[in-house]
Amino acid sequence: MAEQNFIDFVRICCRTGKGGQGSAHFRRDKITAMGGPDGGDGGRGGHIILRGNRNLWTLLPVRYRKHVIAKDGGNGGENHRSGAEGEDIYIDVPLGTIAKDVESGEIHFEITEHGEERILAKGGRGGLGNSHFKSSTNQAPRYAQPGEEGVEEWKILELKVLADVGLVGFPNAGKSTLLSVVTAAKPKIASYAFTTLTPNLGIVKYRGHKSFIIADIPGIIEKAHEGKGIGHRFLRHIERNAILLFMVPADTDNIKKEYEILLNELKMFNPELLDKPRILAITKSDLIDDELKEMLQPELPEGIETVFISSVAQIGLEELKDKLWEAMNVKEEK
């Protein structure tokens, strides 16, 4: 997926349809010269509706629809005929899309299933015809309700990538390399920081024709939760991952300290992220021998399962897949 095509945040102006005018008509025909009220109701204005689409991975199609305008409802007619409802506008979005109000920041809802439909902005209600206002004291009401005005509101659509496993690590921790080796994804790889500027997804094939989705989240740096670097922009994607795979290079000066910095960034962004299952992968382990691995054991973080891997040398990858699969299954059983 080209970086310029991955859009995970858009603002759109929603203008819904106005409700139709109720009719103040009285029945008239060749038999009845002065009949009672028979005005129909106006039709409601068109809604603006979000619809989940599992075939979409980005909000790019919405980016070019800054103003979304729904149609007005039709006016009521004679003989209790209701006006036509205004045509609804449907916006297809990827699964994991969250709708918010621009002014208050309130989260309206989240789209998580294919085909799920949620109203982003409601159209105005149609006005009642004069037949609704007939009573024992007023047999011939000569008034009807006007249609309710539609709304014009700015909304935020925000995408959180859905994946089974999210890769968490500093730039150049080997996340993109791992993704390129264990999946068919082709992320951009280079020896400088922030090579990855957008989340990349890949499908990992597992034993017995099973599979799971892994997401390479752009590199986090210290104080990313305060807006440093580009990590702040993509930290929210980690919220949608079932398992977190922390990645620290074997040649790091202090593996435990780097892991704790990463963990703290997640905690400061959203403490609930610490409730997710975690596994630590020591990457680039082809740079160290077995003796050095043994020497590193006392320096590794406590309370987290650790595996030494090398994506380039194909070391420890099957063991890593087994641990990830086991962690996912334990989570599902709970």
pLDDT in tens, 86-114: 999 999 998 889 999 998 889 999 998 99
Q: Are residues 183 and 150 in the same domain?
A: no
Which residues does residue 67 pair with via DSSP β-bridges, in sequence order?
Answer: 13
Is residue 152 domain-shared with residue 39, that is, in the same domain?
Answer: yes
The kind and range of the H/E element at 38 are: none
How far is residue 133 from each of residues 127, 142, 155, measured CA to CA in Å? 12, 9, 37
- Please indicate, yes or no, whether residues 48 and 147 belong to a single structural domain of this protein: yes
pTM: 0.67
CATH number at residue 96: 2.70.210.12
- CA 107/CA 105 separation, integer angstroms: 6
pLDDT digits over 206-239, tens only? 988 888 888 887 756 555 445 544 445 567 777 7
Alpha-carbon span 4 to 7, nearest angstrom: 8
* Judgement on whether residues 77 and 180 belong to the same structural domain of the protein: no
Give 153's strand partners.
14
The yes-or-no verdict on residue 3 having pLDDT over 70 is no
Q: Which residues contact 71 (CB under 8 A, 6 or more apart)?
A: 17, 45, 46, 86, 87
What is the pairing mode between strands 89-93 and 67-69?
unpaired
Most confident of 130-134, 152-156, 233-237: 152-156
The answer on pLDDT for 197 being more than 80 is no
Mean pLDDT, rounded, for 61-79: 92
159, 185, 216 — which closes off a domain? 159
Q: What confidence category does residue 190 fall into, taking pLDDT thresholds of 50, 70 and 90?
A: very low
- Counting the structural domains of the chain, the total is 2
Q: Please check whether residues 141 and 172 belong to one and the same domain.
A: no
Tell which residue, 255, 234, 237, has the closest CA to residue 246.
Answer: 255
Q: CA angle 68-74-75, nearest 5°?
A: 140
Rounded CA gap, 310 and 22, in Å?
A: 71
Indicate the residue among 118, 134, 159 that finishes a domain: 159
Residues 57 and 149 in one domain: yes
Looking at the structure, tell me whether residues 205 and 303 fall in a common domain: yes
Indicate if 82 and 94 belong to the same structural domain.
yes
Residue 314 backbone zone (phi > 0: left; psi -120 to 50: alpha; other: beta): left
Domain span at residue 179? 163-333
Residues 176 and 317 in one domain: yes
Cβ atoms of 179 and 214 within 8 Å: the answer is: yes
205 and 150 housed in the same domain? no
Beta bridge partners of 246: 168, 280
**159, 189, 223 - which closes a domain:** 159
Residues 56 and 130 occupy one common structural domain: yes
Residues 149 and 234 in one domain: no
Q: Single out the residue of 317, 285, 305, 7 nearest to residue 179, CA to CA.
A: 317
CATH number at residue 277: 3.40.50.300
